[in-house]
A = this chain, B = another copy of it.
Amino acid sequence: MPMSADHPGTDANPRTSDGPGAETALTKKIDPAREPLSRRTVLVAGIHLIEEDGVRQLTMRRLGAKLHVEAMALYRHISGRDDLLDGIVELVMDDLYADPEVHIESGVWQDYLTRLGHGVRRLALTYPQVFPILATRPPAAPWLRPPLRSLRWTESFLGTLRQAGFSDDAAVRAYRSFSSFLLGFLLLEVAALGSDTGPVEQADPGGPTKVNLNDYPNIKELEQGLSQDLSSVEFEESLEAMLDRIELFMRRDHRH
């Protein structure tokens, strides 16, 4: 993924002048010879902060500190906390769009949807804390459906399906089914992920507040199965089942 190329603020040590920035070390004082902030730098730092400490810890002040800057300096690049979150969502979607594994124009729509589905899943598993934001923030237009919430993605999706012979109606229905499947499945998958690594509050040491299952015999007996992680297999199967269903109403529409 392109984004992981640069992690500003991830290194705690203030960087000494290196790389192509030799002249900036001359024009500036001895002080932190950091390159000036950019919107992208701020957004990427925001993503890392969310993944490390959770969204609730993403405050202007903490983000500023991470970038060795006062919180107020961030307002040069983002218009506020909401813009920060929207920007992060946009950046992540663009990142997915640039993913060569995902974005191959292929004549076979099943290939396209499979690759796209896996791409979104990879995104969700890479940024498990960011994904719920992507899923719940109100999109720019009401007909943009998370997690495929950018105009570019929606355009690409609809275009590919129509080119593959989908009617207008079938393409739209496919877009809806696909979105709701990905959203439901992946939201539950990252939630299950988070409960392992979740908010490490540990109220009282001496057991993680284990639920008493005495009154719930069915849960008790199936607990093992419930806890088992079969996400990869189930994702594959469910994705295929959904593609079959899409094919069904694609063909039905055609016959008409």
Contact = CB atoms under 8 A, between A and B. Distances in A.
Contacts of A184: 179-185, 187
A139 B195 contact: yes
A151 B218 contact: no
Nearest to A137: B191
A139 to B, nearest CB: 7
A218 B188 contact: no
7 contacts: A135-B187, A145-B188, A168-B225, A180-B181, A180-B188, A183-B188, A184-B185
B187 A138 contact: no
User: What's the number of copies of this chain in the assembled complex?
Assistant: 2
Interface of A: 132, 135-136, 138-143, 145-146, 151-152, 154-155, 158-159, 162, 168-169, 171-173, 175-177, 179-185, 187-188, 191-192, 194-196, 198-199, 211, 213, 215-219, 221-223, 225-227, 234, 238, 241, 245
A188 B151 contact: no
B191 A146 contact: yes
Nearest to A158: B218
A216 to B, nearest CB: 4
A172 B226 contact: yes
A135 B188 CA distance: 9
Nearest to A194: B138
A152 B211 CA distance: 12
Contact of A168 (B143, B158, B196, B222): B222
Given A143-B226, A151-B219, 19 more contacts: A136-B187, A138-B198, A139-B191, A139-B195, A140-B211, A141-B195, A143-B192, A151-B213, A154-B219, A155-B218, A172-B225, A177-B238, A179-B184, A179-B188, A180-B184, A181-B184, A183-B183, A183-B184, A241-B245
A196 B146 contact: no
A234 B176 contact: yes
Contacts of A168: 221-222, 225
Across chains A and B, which 3 residue pairs bring their CB atoms closest together, nearest first?
A: A184-B184, A143-B226, A180-B184
A142 B196 contact: yes
A138 B191 contact: yes
A10 to B, nearest CB: 26
B222 A172 contact: yes
